[in-house]
Amino acid sequence: MSEIESVDHKIISGIPGNSGIAIGNIVCINNKRRKVLPKSISVSEIDFHLNNFKDGRTALVAELSDMLEYLDAQSGSIIETQKQIVLDSEVEKRVESMIKDELLSSDFAVYKTFCDFIERLKESGSELFRQRIVDLENLRDRFIDVICDDEKSFSIKKGTILVTKELSPAELVTLHADGLSGLVMEKGGITSHAALIAQSLEIPCIVSAKNATSKAFNTKGILDGREGLLILEPEKEMLDSYKTKLKKLKKTQKRLLDNINEPSLTKSGTEFFLSANIEFESELNQLKKYNATNIGLLRTEGLLFSNKTEFDDQIRFYESVLSSTEGSVTFRLFDVGGDKLNAKIPEEANPFLGWRGIRMLLDEKDLLETQLKALLICAGKNKGRVKILIPMVSVEEEILQLKKIITKLQQDLSNSGHKIDNKVALGAMIEVPSAALNAEKLTEHLDFMSIGTNDLTQYTMAVDRGNEKICSLYQQQHPSLWKLIKITADASAKTNTEIAVCGELSGNVLGACGLIGLGIRNLSMISNAIPKVKEELISHNDSEFKELAESFLAASNTKQIKEKFEDWRVH
């Protein structure tokens, strides 16, 4: 048992959300959600409430705009999306109608409008949308604060480590500007917006730290983001050892960035390719910073989220992405359980096993064909650079049906005078065990496969990836995952079909080394993970990676895999 584990009454543990070390004062807040009850107003009060809503909206938009000053591209785009939601015409229509037609107060009208929206997202099978619920709840509560002229809920001193139930991107950005040094949240997964922003602002962060707000108290502490630990009242010896680690960490970060322009070759000279996962347009300027030529996963669900699914909006977005790099872009078709705005989301007992990804797209022909048409036109103009990725494939027939639609659209586009790329690459996400097990057969219809280890973990371990209660079972490095990845990698080698991995596993150093060991050379990840992955991959030779991957396949649990990796790394 380590020194840290032996004093477990002073330790709060969770899932690493962003690595790094913070040492400072802990502030613990138990933030409660707003509850606004319906309040009737008289006809003579309508104008007052309409103005109150509009003034509140202007003030909130100004507050969000001020935050943009502090932000890099990734975080800025999240705040931009929040501004768009606040200014959304549908929000305005509903709030105004509640005030005018139903004679309800402005704070309740805003509350109810956001709550209805949130309910829809809850039913969506999309992890991305579910992760946004906390953002919307916080945005709703802040909107109501502003309307009711309430002060901001809290502020902090420079160097504070904050322990809280959850935090919105906007709050995190404000707290960062106030000098927040670390964050512990009870809720949220590693892909929650707060965790993503913590990564981009380089704030050490722990998520899913169960009951953290009731266990922590205001004292001094150490946050170890890599291990997912918050150590309360550390003894002097431990404090000194963490201070030394912190110094080393700062040096390492500098060295990693210096490596970024080195050739991407293992010690044996084998080339590998580290590409970026992109979700927001304003993340695009990170491609240069991390020297990523290709975008290995472009998530397009943001278009749905910000209500930009019109053909022209899509073309504009896709063109902007393509013009940001000379490399290839893998556009993933909408991966949701339903269009959040068209009220078609069915009530499903198990949304994650339900109508999502390609299953939904094949039913929603207009949505699918508009997206495909926009992508195929961009492909014609940018030959060889557009790749289309199908989400959530579980059976061969889904690929065949989609191919028929693509062939027909290509013919129509060609007949109407558009340039087309006859060789536009089509790939499938391998993120459901049935697809991994059947990969060799699927390759007959595919140009490439991309393994989505986030969902593959969810479906292999039978663990809802957003459920904190069972998050300890969400083990992306479990031996069963490595076995499914091996089957897929072998299918790719046998059939000479390109293969990539675009789930979180590839942005993890252990994961990346194991994947290279299985012969996978294309890894796509959150761009700021590229430096640390690259440093590890250029430091070993192919036989070492192979030996590591073999040891993962032979392990019987995740703990053993982690131990094997640590041993391998030091030898």
- Name the residues that contact ligand PEP, by CB under 6 A: 127-128, 297, 299, 335, 431, 452-455, 502-503
299 binds, among Mg ion, ligand PEP, none (CB under 5 to 8 A by kind): ligand PEP
Whole-angstrom distance, CA of residue 456 vs CA of residue 433: 6
Radius of gyration of the chain (CA): 24
Residue 553 Cβ vs ligand PEP, minimum distance, rounded to whole Å: 20
Nearer to Mg ion, 455 or 544 (CB): 455
Nearer to ligand PEP, 192 or 410 (CB): 192
141 binds, among Mg ion, ligand PEP, none (CB under 5 to 8 A by kind): none
Render 466-502 in DSSP notation, one character per residue: T-GGGGGG--TT-HHHHHHHHHHHHHHHHHT-EEEE-
Render 365-414 in DSSP notation, one character per residue: HHHHHHHHHHHHHHHHHSTTTEEEEESS--SHHHHHHHHHHHHHHHHHHH
Tokens of 332: 């993933």
Which of 16, 76, 427, 452: binder of Mg ion (CB under 5 A)? 452
Residue 297 Cβ vs ligand PEP, minimum distance, rounded to whole Å: 6
Instruction: Give the CB-nearest residue to Mg ion.
Output: 455
Binding flag, residue 141, Mg ion (CB under 5 A): no
Nearer to Mg ion, 128 or 378 (CB): 128
Residue 452 Cβ vs ligand PEP, minimum distance, rounded to whole Å: 3
283 binds, among Mg ion, ligand PEP, none (CB under 5 to 8 A by kind): none
Nearer to ligand PEP, 222 or 321 (CB): 321
Residue 505 Cβ vs ligand PEP, minimum distance, rounded to whole Å: 8
Whole-angstrom distance, CA of residue 54 vs CA of residue 476: 46
Nearer to Mg ion, 421 or 455 (CB): 455
Site for Mg ion in 419-448 (CB under 5 A): 431
Whole-angstrom distance, CA of residue 476 vs CA of residue 200: 22
368 binds, among Mg ion, ligand PEP, none (CB under 5 to 8 A by kind): none
453 binds, among Mg ion, ligand PEP, none (CB under 5 to 8 A by kind): ligand PEP
CA atoms within 13 A on the CB side of 495: 21
Nearer to ligand PEP, 113 or 454 (CB): 454
List all residues 6 or more positions away from 52 whose beta carbon is below 8 Å from its beta carbon.
Answer: 106, 147
Which of 80, 186, 224, 455: binder of Mg ion (CB under 5 A)? 455
Tokens of 550: 């073999």
Residue 426 Cβ vs ligand PEP, minimum distance, rounded to whole Å: 17
Tokens of 335: 């991966």
| Strand 425-430 versus strand 220-224 pairing type | unpaired
Whole-angstrom distance, CA of residue 332 vs CA of residue 451: 12
Nearer to ligand PEP, 430 or 548 (CB): 430
Residue 450 Cβ vs ligand PEP, minimum distance, rounded to whole Å: 8
- Where are the strands (E) in 173-308, listed by range? 182-185, 205-207, 220-224, 229-232, 273-278, 295-298
Residue 537 Cβ vs ligand PEP, minimum distance, rounded to whole Å: 20
Nearer to ligand PEP, 86 or 345 (CB): 345
564 binds, among ligand PEP, Mg ion, none (CB under 5 to 8 A by kind): none
Burial of 320 (0-12, 13-18, 19+ CB in 10 A): exposed
Q: Which long-range contacts (CB under 8 A, 24 or more apart) does 487-490 make?
A: 487/436, 487/437, 487/439, 488/430, 488/436, 488/439, 488/449, 488/451, 489/518, 489/519, 489/520, 490/440
127 binds, among ligand PEP, Mg ion, none (CB under 5 to 8 A by kind): ligand PEP
359 binds, among ligand PEP, Mg ion, none (CB under 5 to 8 A by kind): none
Within the chain, how many helices (H) and strands (E) appear?
A: 24, 16
Nearer to ligand PEP, 143 or 352 (CB): 352
Which among 257-265, 382-390, 451-459, 507-515 is the span making contact with Mg ion, rule CB under 5 A?
451-459
In this structure, are residues 436 and 487 in contact, taking their beta carbons and an 8 Å threshold? yes
> First-to-last CA distance in the chain?
22
- Residues forming contacts to Mg ion in the complex (CB under 5 A) are 431, 452, 455
